[in-house]
Structure 1
């Protein structure tokens, strides 16, 4: 009994530390969400790791991998769960659907809706469903409904919902989610847009949806009928020095030619745009994704950069522009803007026959960015004529997504 009490006190202290850290990170913005992070014992939902690791604010815990070692299910980092719950604005008495089951997030939602609310959590993987059901029951949340199903189809037997919270990366908005949403409901979804993933809080707007609230995030990809894989073109693979291009479906590139030009002549173009260190340039990345028709992401390891293969590195990917010749590309880079390295300048490094043109085009797009602007995302029925839309248009099966920048200077 002494050991159990000591463990309980230790985990209670870890929860308090987590709440403080999430508050400092700006992920917690309201008392109800803060309270549920105090209430739910996160360590019970990630028994695979020590308690201290379970309560790390920025750490996701992978709970299942496929035969290739790729993560297919995880308990998301607490920071991401916190700001998504803030985006969702879940209130007592609501009916909520969670798509993607880990158990912990469903327990947080159950605390938010209270005894008068209902929570359904759904996953396509029977093993994940069984794990979530067992952990929820053990932790005292056996009243949460755990369902096996395709996330893109929602849970029609439990609809309509006040909130739908998707915890897997989606490449488009599933029509079932909108059909199963109450008129004043909200969908929070990690949406992949030209390779970039943002947690977007959509609300109904006539026949479509609108959102101005979005946050950078990362999730395992959705499975089932909603899956849309990206293509990875490997440009360099020498031990730990790896470089590749992540391409959305429909974006074409001459892979062999691009692979060959990486080690050839290069061109640099610098924008004159600077940003202090530790300040996010996530909106610049989203702006470039909307401003560049040939937008892709260049992935690279730190070792590839350190050995001079490329000048920038990111496992998630840095903005890249594929040139119209299909054999040239440029990617976003940074260089110190002063001797103290307190500011850095954005620029572009180009490769290929049209390296200069590609680098100049990417640097020009950086110069056209307005750091004060925030994007507005709208989803329209697929039948909506193009002349009625404005901004960058991303076509999906059921909806046409537009990304516009109302405060963006012309």
Structure 2
């Protein structure tokens, strides 16, 4: 009887394991089919990698499989004492897109900045036995975890994991055909770029006044020029490459706050905004309308490049701004007043008019400044090709700025964003 029971339990356990494996295989293949349909995966080697590597082996235990194999859900793997995200397994669509942006192929040497394990395993599959993958992270906890997970998943001898601050370079790492940065970066440090081969590609989520684009760059003479971009958000880079935001909290007089966040161009005297939320709110509208299905994400990038005083906003629950149906977290400060991006129903059904709402004695001026840039975006960039990004390291000079070109100073050089004229 005892033997029979043990045997029955063993068969049941084996059956349960097989069922679980079948479910993960099915979910993984459904995910890959979706990534193919979206155009995020475009090459057979990347497709094969995503069908092969078990994503669930690299996320915290207990993570629902529907989240693990979801097309646009990241999985947090480490937080600090305040709950801020320090590390994550990025959303699958952006992992696929970044590998495709980089043009990773068989036999290449690839450097991954920001370890987690899963992305490195994907890269190992794509480059194959003739290639090499080095994954670095500044955090020893993360590199230890990545090493253990890669070993358990069978990639321990195919990926080299190292602890290093990549902004200072990776000792003895050499030159790479491709570099993929999987943390939000404010700058392109010279020590990191020294690892990039002359004909190489670096893909980096670059922060520009709080707005991030994942950009693929190639060398072009003495600077770098973009070849593609993607919308995405990432956990911020740590170490020397970190760029702390300046955050100002405006009280509403009822124990709640609206926060203004700047990574450049913070006001010199934020106290001019004391009590501003008690002022009457004003609004200015642009007459620029967008359809419900139309993406206007590039207007935020336009703001970041051309709107002095641009910032990101966050509002506590209970403030007038929180949960507003027509509110987006982009704003501008002008002295004792600030405005924020908004929209309202347009005269044509199914369309919305873009504009700005504002607080302060000069709120109308702040709102008008934002609305003028909405109209400029509508005239010069809306519906046109995506902008071209160029990074000019310190010691080089950008080409003559002609037309709609934003110039952003970075620690290691200067970034230009050039907008082609819309057709």
Same fold (TM over 0.5): yes
The structure 2 residue matched to 1:38, chosen from 37, 42, 51, is 51
Say if 1:253 and 1:327, in contact at 8 Å, map to a contact too: no
Aligned to 2:393: 381
* Whole-Å separation in 1 of the counterparts to 2:249 and 2:321: 18
Aligned to 1:291: 306
Query: Where do 1:7-406 residues align within 5 Å?
Result: 7-48=20-61, 49-142=63-156, 143-236=158-251, 242-300=257-315, 304=319, 312-314=326-328, 317-318=329-330, 320-323=331-334, 326-338=335-347, 340=349, 342-369=350-377, 370-373=381-384, 374-385=386-397, 388-389=400-401, 391-406=405-420
Say if 1:240 and 1:304, in contact at 8 Å, map to a contact too: no
1:238 to 1:355, Cα distance in 2 relative to 1, 3 A: closer
Say if 2:80 and 2:86, in contact at 8 Å, map to a contact too: yes
* Whole-Å separation in 2 of the counterparts to 1:348 and 1:175: 39
1:207 to 1:359, Cα distance in 2 relative to 1, 3 A: same
* Whole-Å separation in 1 of the counterparts to 2:117 and 2:275: 47
Say if 1:305 and 1:313, in contact at 8 Å, map to a contact too: no
Say if 1:94 and 1:163, in contact at 8 Å, map to a contact too: yes
1:281 to 1:236, Cα distance in 2 relative to 1, 3 A: farther
Say if 2:252 and 2:319, in contact at 8 Å, map to a contact too: no
* Whole-Å separation in 1 of the counterparts to 2:256 and 2:51: 42
> How far does residue 350 in structure 1 lie from its aligned partner after superposition?
1.9
> How far does residue 249 in structure 1 lie from its aligned partner after superposition?
3.7
* Whole-Å separation in 2 of the counterparts to 1:45 and 1:311: 37
* Whole-Å separation in 1 of the counterparts to 2:355 and 2:227: 28
* Whole-Å separation in 2 of the counterparts to 1:345 and 1:194: 25
* Whole-Å separation in 2 of the counterparts to 1:151 and 1:24: 35
* Whole-Å separation in 2 of the counterparts to 1:153 and 1:307: 40
Say if 1:234 and 1:244, in contact at 8 Å, map to a contact too: yes
Say if 1:231 and 1:248, in contact at 8 Å, map to a contact too: yes
> How far does residue 302 in structure 1 lie from its aligned partner after superposition?
7.0
* Whole-Å separation in 2 of the counterparts to 1:240 and 1:21: 46
TM-score when normalising by structure 2: 0.89
SS of equivalent to 1:202: strand
Bigger CA radius of gyration: 2
Could you tell me which runs of 5 or more consecutive residues in structure 2 were left unpaired when the two chains were aligned: 1-13
* Whole-Å separation in 2 of the counterparts to 1:34 and 1:193: 31
* Whole-Å separation in 2 of the counterparts to 1:263 and 1:195: 27
SS of equivalent to 2:236: coil
> How far does residue 274 in structure 1 lie from its aligned partner after superposition?
1.3
1:17 to 1:237, Cα distance in 2 relative to 1, 3 A: farther
Aligned to 2:8: none
Say if 2:265 and 2:309, in contact at 8 Å, map to a contact too: no
* Whole-Å separation in 2 of the counterparts to 1:311 and 1:262: 19
1:239 to 1:116, Cα distance in 2 relative to 1, 3 A: farther
* Whole-Å separation in 2 of the counterparts to 1:389 and 1:165: 29
Number of residue pairs aligned between Structure 1 and Structure 2? 402
> How far does residue 54 in structure 1 lie from its aligned partner after superposition?
1.1
